[in-house]
Chains A and B, each alone.
Chain A
Amino acid sequence: MSKTYAKSTIEARDFTTSLVYNNEASGALAEFNGNLGQDQLPYEVLEKENFVANSRISVDSQPDGSASNGIGIIMPTQAIYKAASNLNTFTWDRLSPSGSGPVAVLGPPLAAYTSTTSAWTSGINSLSDDIALGTFLRFTTKEGVVRGTATVDVEYFFVSSEATGFTGNFGAGWRWQIYVFVNDEMVSTTGPQPAGRRRTVQLPFTIPVSSNDAINIDVRWSATFDGAGLTPSQIIQVDEATIRFYNCQLFARNQYR
């Protein structure tokens, strides 16, 4: 009789193999310990050069490289980068010069765009054009994931602060929107938000990344001001649409594979 190999339950008087007894336990062990293949193994973490104390570096905080005021903390399994503005003086007379101030509030804004000036270009614009810190980061990545959050303090009103007696209906026209772009691809947005208020928004984002010399994370904005839907229609004191940006913060965490 020829030899018989079987993985199924051995019947009476049949031949057996030593493998059978270990099958289930082997499976449990393999699952617990992890069947690690190249897909699961850390990609760059287990290198001698990574077993060092955390370090702190400076990273670009402006797209043209003119400022490197972003902070990066490099750790063995991850790196965290941050750029944040720190507007903290409450000395801005926002009614000046035509108002009845002085009224000292937080400010002046880090950036303000008014529909009646050429500063407001159409389309989606980078906040880093006018805000030095907290809207842009460029850093080296390792293969894995980058996740982070952009925080923007934004205010969009459509009449001057001296106007009185209005009730606003912003219809479909008066909207602002904030975006996060990574290498010029949008990864997060607030969606169109109605004007007529000030608020601080957070835009979380998560992207897979390969090992790169540099990726650019850029916070951008757009707004519309066509005025459609305003009531009452006799509002005549609409003198401008001004969108103002106050403190901005951007952080990103690169978790290595």
Chain B
Amino acid sequence: MSQTKYTYQNIRATITAAGLNSLYENVENMTDGTDGRIDDENCRTEAFNRNHFKQDEGPNEADDFVSVDQVVLGYNAAFTGVFTTFWTWNTSVTVGANEVLRVQFNPLVTLTERQNTASVVVRANSAFYVQLYATVGGVDQAICAPFGYNSIQAGDGNTGSIQSKTLFYERLPLTAIFMPTVTTAITAIKAKMYFDDGSNFRTTMQFLYGMYVHHKY
């Protein structure tokens, strides 16, 4: 923990401006990073710590990242049955053995849509799934299970002919807890989406926000 003190004035010494200010200079040094900087090396970690705000302008994007670009997936058979990356956050974090990386992802779904929903099979395939990945050694590995959402939210859950039966401006928060057994260097954190039926369903998202907290001590 940062500490400061001031020294006693020596007997018969002349008080100088520098001496009088030393206490406050020490306090400044202890808090602005000159000497005893408070950072993620010497304070406990939690959702928001000083590290998140240490940039002069805006948040520290090394630890959190928001993308406001609109992302549209679906109405294309290529999305069916595969996990498609729709959010990539290039970062650099090394998680040691028996350390924990908590990733929080909170996309805003502005709209889901569907077409050709008359078929029973199509209607039974109205779900989409979101899963978080970490890129390790160039390979994407899942850091949580796939979690599901339905593109349609009304009635029997499978029919519908009006637009209001889809998702509309809704956050889909998701958490991943990564607990590696060996030191793991992560170069990117990704979110991927899987459609049961990518041909007949579509999801539109904005304001994809994610952050991580690295628990070490």
Q: Which residues from A are CB-within-8-Å of B145?
A: 84-88, 247, 249
Q: How far is the CA of A202 from the CA of B102 in the complex (A)?
A: 14
Q: How far is the CA of A202 from the CA of B156 in the complex (A)?
A: 24
Contact of B120 (CB < 8 Å), options: A33, A54, A99: A99
Contact of B6 (CB < 8 Å), options: A25, A34, A166, A199: A25
Closest to B157 in A: A157
Q: Which residues from A are CB-within-8-Å of B121?
A: 95, 99-101, 103
* B126-141 with Cβ < 8 A to chain A: 127, 129-130
Q: Which residues from A are CB-within-8-Å of B174?
A: 151, 200, 202
| Min CB gap A24→B, angstroms | 10
CB–CB B160/A167 < 8 A = yes
Asked if B196 is an interface residue, CB under 8 A from chain A, the answer is: yes
Q: Which residues from A are CB-within-8-Å of B97?
A: 54
Q: How far is the CA of A255 from the CA of B102 in the complex (A)?
A: 15
With A199-B149, A251-B177 known as contacts, the answer to whether A88 contacts B142 (CB < 8 A) is yes
Q: How far is the CA of A10 from the CA of B45 in the complex (A)?
A: 48
| Min CB gap A159→B, angstroms | 4
Asked if B203 is an interface residue, CB under 8 A from chain A, the answer is: no
With A56-B181, A164-B159, A198-B157 known as contacts, the answer to whether A77 contacts B175 (CB < 8 A) is no
Contact of B124 (CB < 8 Å), options: A80, A105, A149: A105
Q: Which residues from A are CB-within-8-Å of B6?
A: 25, 29
Asked if A75 is an interface residue, CB under 8 A from chain B, the answer is: yes
| Min CB gap B12→A, angstroms | 16
Asked if A186 is an interface residue, CB under 8 A from chain B, the answer is: no
Asked if B59 is an interface residue, CB under 8 A from chain A, the answer is: no
Asked if A90 is an interface residue, CB under 8 A from chain B, the answer is: yes
What total of chain B residues lie within 8 Å of the partner, measured CB to CB? 58
Query: In this complex, which of B145, B153, B194 has the most chain A Cβ atoms within 10 angstroms of its Cβ?
Result: B145
Asked if A168 is an interface residue, CB under 8 A from chain B, the answer is: yes
Asked if B144 is an interface residue, CB under 8 A from chain A, the answer is: yes
CB–CB A32/B175 < 8 A = no
Query: In this complex, which of A105, A165, A166 has the most chain B Cβ atoms within 10 angstroms of its Cβ?
Result: A105
Asked if B54 is an interface residue, CB under 8 A from chain A, the answer is: no
Q: How far is the CA of A7 from the CA of B30 in the complex (A)?
A: 30
Q: Which residues from B are CB-within-8-Å of A143?
A: none
| Min CB gap B105→A, angstroms | 11
Asked if A236 is an interface residue, CB under 8 A from chain B, the answer is: no
A positions within 8 Å CB-CB of B: 25, 28-29, 32-34, 53-56, 71, 73, 75-78, 80, 82, 84-88, 90, 94-95, 99-101, 103-106, 149, 151, 153, 155, 157-169, 196-200, 202, 246-247, 249, 251, 253, 255
Write 29 A-B pairs (CB below 8 A) sorted by A numbering.
A25-B23, A28-B23, A28-B27, A29-B4, A34-B1, A53-B98, A54-B98, A75-B99, A75-B216, A76-B217, A80-B100, A82-B177, A87-B145, A105-B124, A105-B196, A106-B129, A106-B146, A151-B147, A153-B147, A158-B156, A161-B124, A161-B157, A168-B157, A196-B154, A197-B152, A199-B150, A200-B149, A249-B145, A251-B102
